[in-house]
Structure 1
Amino acid sequence: MSLVFVHATLTLDGFLAGPNGEVDWMFDVPSAPEDQEVVDRVCANIGAVVGGANSTRTIEDDGIPYGGIVNAPVFLMTHTPAPPVERDGITYTFVVDDIAEAVESAKRAAGGKWVSLLGGSIGRQCLQLGLVDEIHLDVVPVLLGEGISLFGGLGMRVDLERLETSAFASETHLRFRVLEASV
């Protein structure tokens, strides 16, 4: 059975991106080979990705999940039906409004490997529906003060068990198991 996990790089104040979606801060910090080993280990286990975006922003403007280093099917949440798109060997399937179906489709496509949930809205919706097994965070030592929050607006308590913590050059890598969620 596939592990479903929220995966994000975020600032110390909990933002995925700046107010206008900018993520340049992610690339302004030093990293160590051990940081890359953590990323490589996670990416090697990913069998499918669920995200939210439109086809232009995600596929045509080089906003490819994981920069293309994960060669796995991608299921994108949308409000408008569209046929699947293939780019660089990756199939992008558009799922209209049913995130539970997107996760189930991703689990089938993952073939027992992990399903990565990308984006604040996607992660929050899946947590609210009880679809998340783990949360993996790569925290960068930057405070933006405002931006797009990972968990802002979740509206519920989620109890977690820490599974792994590591810190190297500048990133802190955190892995938690979701124990219980309640409104």
Structure 2
Amino acid sequence: MSVVFIHATVTLDGFLAGPRGEVDWMFDFPSAPQDQDVVDRVCANIGAVVGGANPGRTIEDGEVPYGGMVKAPVYLMSHTPAAPVERDGITYTFVVDDLASAVETAKEAAGERWVSVLGGKVSRQCLELGLVDEIHLDVVPVLLGEGISLFGGLGRRIDLDRLETSAFASETHLRFRVQGQRNRDAASTSTSSLPA
């Protein structure tokens, strides 16, 4: 069964990006090979991606999920219909205003692999709808003070079980299971450890 997980690099104060969407702060820290190993193992298990963006900014401006290194179908939430786009071996399908349908379609496409949820608004909505099995965070040691929040405005408490924690050069890698989800037992069985 496919596991739906929120995947994000965040600052210690919980921001995905600076106030104008800038992410240059992600690259100012030393990393160890083990940091990349953690990211590579997660990326190798992704079978589909769900995010939020518009056709022009996401694809034509080069803001593609995972920089295009994850070759999996991408389902992007939109308020206006748009034809699917194929670029560099990745198909981008635009889903109008039906996040639950986008996640279900992504799960079907992913098969036994995982569905990665990207972006603050889409992540919060997926949590509110009970669609998320796990949360994977790569935390970098910086406080931005302001910016685009991953969980700000969620509006309710969601309890988590810690599955894994690791830290190497600078980043801290955190993995949690969302408590009380319908797929909890299946997620626990199928993702008890990341693939080597």
Relative to the length of structure 2, the TM-score reads 0.91
Matched residue, 1:91: 91
Q: Please report the RMSD computed on the Cα atoms of aligned residues, expressed in angstroms.
A: 0.8
Q: Deviations over 1:49-86 (max 9, x none)?
A: 00000011111111110011100000000000001000
CA distance in 1, matches of 2:47, 2:2: 8
Amino acid at match of 2:124: R
1:26 aligned onto 2:26: yes
Instruction: Describe how 1:1-12 pairs up with structure 2 within 5 A.
Output: 1-12=1-12
Q: Gaps (5+ residues) in structure 1?
A: none
CA distance in 1, matches of 2:78, 2:85: 14
Amino acid at match of 1:151: F
Is the contact made by 1:53 and 1:78 (CA closer than 8 Å) also made in structure 2?
A: yes
State the shift of 1:111 in Å: 1.6
Matched residue, 2:136: 136
Runs of 4+, deviation exceeding 2 Å: none
Q: Deviations over 1:97-119 (max 9, x none)?
A: 00000000100111210000000
State the shift of 1:138 in Å: 0.2
Instruction: Describe how 1:12-91 pairs up with structure 2 within 5 A.
Output: 12-91=12-91
Is the contact made by 1:73 and 1:92 (CA closer than 8 Å) also made in structure 2?
A: yes
CA distance in 1, matches of 2:170, 2:55: 33
CA distance in 2, matches of 1:56, 1:142: 31
Matched residue, 2:155: 155
Amino acid at match of 2:67: G
Matched residue, 2:189: none
Is the contact made by 1:158 and 1:180 (CA closer than 8 Å) also made in structure 2?
A: no
State the shift of 1:180 in Å: 3.5
Matched residue, 2:145: 145
CA distance in 1, matches of 2:68, 2:31: 20
CA distance in 1, matches of 2:97, 2:112: 25
State the shift of 1:26 in Å: 0.4
Question: How many residues are treated as equivalent by the alignment?
Answer: 181
CA distance in 1, matches of 2:112, 2:81: 27
Amino acid at match of 2:107: K
Is the contact made by 1:119 and 1:150 (CA closer than 8 Å) also made in structure 2?
A: yes
CA distance in 1, matches of 2:63, 2:109: 21
- The DSSP-based 3-state class of the residue aligned with 1:158 is coil
